Amino acid sequence: LAKTTQPISMDSYEGQEVNITCSHNNIATNDYITWYQQFPSQGPRFIIQGYKTKVTNEVASLFIPADRKSSTLSLPRVSLSDTAVYYCLVGEDSSASKIIFGSGTRLSIRP
Amino acid sequence: DAMVIQNPRYQVTQFGKPVTLSCSQTLNHNVMYWYQQKSSQAPKLLFHYYDKDFNNEADTPDNFQSRRPNTSFCFLDIRSPGLGDAAMYLCATSRESGNQPQHFGDGTRLSIL
């Protein structure tokens, strides 16, 4: 089961692009990378999932290098409402394995 | 249009008094999960159901039990709550297990007096 490592916290300003990197050196061949966002007193919310190269949706982009030992969540032009904890998870997209949340990155956006 | 609903949002119980938390889903997903999240920590998986098959995590205390009477509902029973069980309890669903995107409820915050 691949363990993930993320920065504990990050600060940025409104309108900036924010990149949060997650390390997963022991990622297995069948593992996918998933990111969740969590606001205080709410459950985590799925943001994006990917296997390799780049994935983009209306909320974020996910960049995964060829060796897949890390991944970067990119949030374009953040606003105050993007202040939250962001979790990176790694696991198989199958019925076999369990998912463990890493420690998460607390992102604070300032005006 | 809530899809995973947890009731109540806040629950207070006494030390040692059994308590049940409930979760319902309108997504018709096969898998339902229960997580415990303590302050400033990541969610920790307690157990999950794939349909009616129960899967307990190895380090989940025996004090925690679960029931899934049908596809839509899942319950978390804490038989004898201790002070250390005060936490947010999160229910989630996914279509299949593994690293499928999970849909979370907003949790029940449990306090122990």
Quick: pLDDT tens for A43-99.
999 999 999 999 999 999 999 999 999 999 999 999 999 999 999 998 876 654 567
A7 Cβ neighbours under 8 A, 6+ residues apart:
A20, A21, A105
Q: How far is CA A67 from CA A7, A25, A48, A54, in A?
A: 20, 9, 19, 13
Residues on B contacting A at a C-beta cutoff of 8 Å:
4, 41-45, 50, 55, 57, 88, 90-92, 96-107, 109
Smallest CA-to-CA distance from A6 within A27, A24, A32, A18 is with A24
Judged by CB atoms closer than 8 Å, whether chains meet at A95 and B42 is answered as: no
Q: How confident is the model at residue A36 (pLDDT cuts 50, 70, 90)?
A: very high
Judge whether B111 and B10 are in contact, CB under 8 Å. Answer: yes
Q: Could you report the average pLDDT of every consecutive run of 10 residues in chain B (113 residues)?
A: 88 96 96 95 92 90 96 96 96 88 95 95
The three-state secondary structure class of B65 is strand
Helices (H), A5-111: none
Judged by CB atoms closer than 8 Å, whether chains meet at A44 and B50 is answered as: no
Give the helix/strand (H/E) hosting A61.
strand A61-64
pLDDT of residue A2: 64
φ, ψ dihedrals at B6, nearest 5°: -115, 135
Q: How many CA atoms lie within 13 A of B108 on its CB side?
A: 26
Judged by CB atoms closer than 8 Å, whether chains meet at A42 and B109 is answered as: no
Coarse DSSP helix, strand, coil percentages of chain A, rounded to the nearest 5 percent: 5, 50, 50
Judge whether A5 and A66 are in contact, CB under 8 Å. Answer: no
